[in-house]
Amino acid sequence: MSRFTDDLLRPSATTGLVCGDPDRLQRVPWNEIHDAARRAAGGMAERGVIPNSAVAVLAGDPSEVARVAQACWMRGASVTMLHPPTPRTDLAEWARATGRVLKMIEASLLVIGEPYPEELANAVVGVRITTVSELADAAAIEPVHPDEDTVALLQLTAGSTGAPKAVAITHRNLYAGTAAITDAFELRAERDVAVMWLPLYHDMGMISLVTLMQHGVPAVFVTPQDFLRRPLLLLELISTYRGTVTTGPDFSYAILSRRLRAAPDGVYDLSSLRVVVNGAEPIDPEVIDEFITQAARFGMSASTITPAYGMAEATLLVSLSRGSGTLVDTIDPAAVEHRAIAEPASSGRRLVRLGSPYAAMELRIVDAAGAILPARAVGEIRIRGAAVTDYYLTSEGRVPARDVDGWLATGDLGYRTEDGDLVVCGRAKEIIIIAGRNIYPTDIERICAAVPGVRAGNVVAVRIGTATGSEGFVIIAESIRAGSEPTDEALLAELRADIATAVQHRLGVTPRWVEVVPPGTLPKTPSGKLRRSAAADLLGTNPALTAGR
């Protein structure tokens, strides 16, 4: 029997989930969510969901997602959280992409809930559709008992809109992953309150919700749309509910810092926080320094900042740095670019230390041949453990995720310090190689973001090829100068020159082109993260810019 579902069958009656309209939040005890899940499981059984079925879910309300996910697991089925359309999405293309996902997972049922209208799901053909409210009308049934190797969650990867791909997370993986999170952050139902806003189709949001539900930890959830419309809502809820744990990607702390600068002293009370996780994307030390400065005015201790490294393939957590705040490793850029060695330096490239792997996770750094590298040698990060997936599901079927010895290649480049801390440098596939130098897009983007006129957090560096086979890069930056009417071409030309000059001065390389676009142009996920690979499509078909891509 699954140890994970065994925990879910003993829900807490004294703690629960707070969610809903931010101005009218409601608390639902975990045991009531469980009772509703038993009825939803009955509704799924009536609609033909049996063990090893796949159920797709398009919903954003945390209480609905919690009950539908539990219902799936009570039927021995897997859950796939679908990516919703954004305001910029072409709905016909979204429907086609979603149809490809449903075909890949062989979905037997699509469940739709708030805030998405049923008409949205009706655009997708080839699968039976029902709603959360329709499932609630069924009679409760007893759960089936899946084994440890039954798939619990098919987590779509970030690039799943084109050729879909999902990480297959079993009950064994999920139990190990949630146990790691609970132990690493020392979560206690009688002490903690988690305040979250992350999207539930993202691994960080979904697995966080599952962990809190499994262990009965009180939780307050709002949606990404709520957070992006009103970022300081997060701090209001932490103050009101005495939140102890929160989490988010780096860009969210940059947004909060900007808003906090104008906030009067004493309007928030962040003294209850003990864990503030920063993960899911590269961490900028300057962003965290600024957030600590601003949040300290409202009682937050710098030691609460918890940089972490994780991924869906690891059922979220790989490593973290707890209790010491943000530790930064400063290295010589020339050494890492030319020799792939992270040599300590008094000034240079600043990278955040991500701590050591938790006890049950193994991690190694290897070269292109798979040989283990010593401390401070940059190579690919590989992981192994009970929480690590065995395979991906694709349109062509299963693709093994691990090698014969159980190691998973993450595709990330990094190194370990002398005392074992992990430092991530970037994605291997995004490295820009110029004259033998390995240049990381994040380094370029941070330089550009400091140029006056560029919208902070809204700039990408895109690797391009050339007709001769060499590599270069293009910068795409958002600016209000491009969005004004009429457009001042002289001002745009000046901004393009300023960006190119800043990059050349700091890194000694020059972009092939700088494209300045209006605010809101760069593609983002519904949670607000930039999609660097999708941004390359903005370059159009100009052969001077797209050759070799």
Query: What band does 487 get if pLDDT is binned at 50, 70 and 90?
Result: low
Tokens of 390: 């065995």
Residue with more model confidence, 337 or 531: 337
**3 state SS of 364:** strand
Residue with more model confidence, 90 or 289: 289
What pLDDT is recorded for position 456?
78
Position 287 in a domain:
no
The Cα–Cα gap between 305 and 327 comes to 10
What pLDDT is recorded for position 549?
38
Q: Find the angle CA(63)-CA(69)-CA(75) to the nearest 5 degrees.
A: 140
Q: Is the pLDDT of residue 492 over 60?
A: yes
Region 443-457: what's the mean pLDDT? 86
What are the tens digits of pLDDT across the range 252-286? 998 999 999 999 988 999 999 999 999 878 888 98
One-letter amino acid at 26 equals Q
The Cα–Cα gap between 522 and 525 comes to 10
What pLDDT is recorded for position 528?
62
Q: Is the pLDDT of residue 508 over 50?
A: yes
What pLDDT is recorded for position 300?
97
Nearest to 210 by CA among 171, 250, 158: 171
Region 402-420: what's the mean pLDDT? 95
Q: Is the pLDDT of residue 124 over 90?
A: no
Say which DSSP state 530 is in.
B
Q: Is the pLDDT of residue 229 over 80?
A: yes
How many domains is the chain built from? 2
Determine which helix (DSSP H) or strand (DSSP E) holds 412, and give its type and residue range: strand 408-416
Question: Which residues, other chains included, contact 267 with Cβ-Cβ below 8 Å and sequence gap of 6+?
Answer: 298
The Cα–Cα gap between 78 and 81 comes to 10
What pLDDT is recorded for position 20?
93
Residue with more model confidence, 510 or 357: 357
Phi, psi of 493, rounded to the nearest 5 degrees: -65, -40
Position 387 in a domain:
no
One-letter amino acid at 316 equals L
What pLDDT is recorded for position 171?
97
Region 502-518: what's the mean pLDDT? 87
Query: What band does 209 get if pLDDT is binned at 50, 70 and 90?
Result: very high
- Bridge-based pairing of strands 316-320 and 328-331 is unpaired
**3 state SS of 163:** coil
What are the tens digits of pLDDT across the range 359-387? 899 999 999 999 999 999 999 999 999 99
In three-state form (DSSP H/G/I as H, E/B as E, the rest C), the secondary structure along 42-101 is HHHHHCCCCCCCEEEEECCCHHHHHHHHHHHHHCCCEEEECCCCCCCCCHHHHHHHHHHH
DSSP string, 219-239: EEE--HHHHHH-TTHHHHHHH
Write down which residue in 229, 260, 295 finishes a domain: 229
CA dihedral (45, 47, 52, 56) positive or negative: negative
What are the tens digits of pLDDT across the range 72-118? 999 999 999 999 887 777 788 888 889 999 999 999 999 999 888 87
The Cα–Cα gap between 93 and 184 comes to 41
Position 460 in a domain:
yes
Position 414 in a domain:
no
From residue 88, alpha-carbon distances to 23, 85, 406, 416, 524 in Å are: 27, 8, 40, 40, 9
Region 1-18: what's the mean pLDDT? 90
What pLDDT is recorded for position 429?
82
pTM: predicted TM-score of the whole model, two decimal places: 0.87
The Cα–Cα gap between 280 and 453 comes to 27
Residue with more model confidence, 308 or 446: 308
Write down which residue in 173, 194, 229 finishes a domain: 229
What pLDDT is recorded for position 486?
64
With both helix axes pointing from N to C terminus, report the angle between 171-184 and 203-214 in degrees, rounded to the nearest 10.
Answer: 80
Residue with more model confidence, 279 or 319: 319
Walk across the sheet containing 513-517 and list its strands.
Answer: 459-465, 471-478, 513-517
Tokens of 297: 């005015």
Q: Is the pLDDT of residue 470 over 80?
A: no
DSSP string, 335-352: HHHHH-B--B-SSSEEEE
The Cα–Cα gap between 40 and 473 comes to 51
Burial of 359 (0-12, 13-18, 19+ CB in 10 A): exposed
Position 397 in a domain:
no
The Cα–Cα gap between 84 and 146 comes to 29
Region 318-337: what's the mean pLDDT? 89
What pLDDT is recorded for position 484?
65
What are the tens digits of pLDDT across the range 167-206? 999 999 999 999 999 999 999 999 999 999 999 999 999 9
The rounded mean pLDDT for the chain is: 89
Tokens of 126: 């080839």
Domain containing residue 107: CATH number: 3.40.50.12780
Position 100 in a domain:
yes
Residue that is written with structure tokens 């309150």 in the block:
193
Position 77 in a domain:
yes
Region 384-408: what's the mean pLDDT? 96
What pLDDT is recorded for position 466?
55
Q: Is the pLDDT of residue 544 over 50?
A: no
Q: Range with the lowest mean pLDDT among 20-24, 209-213, 227-231, 322-326?
A: 322-326
Q: Is the pLDDT of residue 471 over 60?
A: yes
Domain containing residue 505: CATH number: 3.30.300.30
- Bridge-based pairing of strands 362-366 and 107-112 is unpaired
Rg of the Cα atoms in the chain: 23
Q: What percent of the chain has pLDDT over 70?
A: 94
What pLDDT is recorded for position 391?
97
Domain range for residue 491?
A: 432-546
Write down which residue in 229, 257, 291 finishes a domain: 229
Query: What band does 157 get if pLDDT is binned at 50, 70 and 90?
Result: confident
Question: Which residues, other chains included, contact 263 with Cβ-Cβ below 8 Å and sequence gap of 6+?
Answer: 232, 298
Q: Range with the lowest mean pLDDT among 234-243, 383-392, 473-482?
A: 473-482
Q: Is the pLDDT of residue 160 over 60?
A: no
Largest CA distance in the chain: 70
What pLDDT is recorded for position 547?
40
Q: Is the pLDDT of residue 421 over 60?
A: yes
Position 238 in a domain:
no
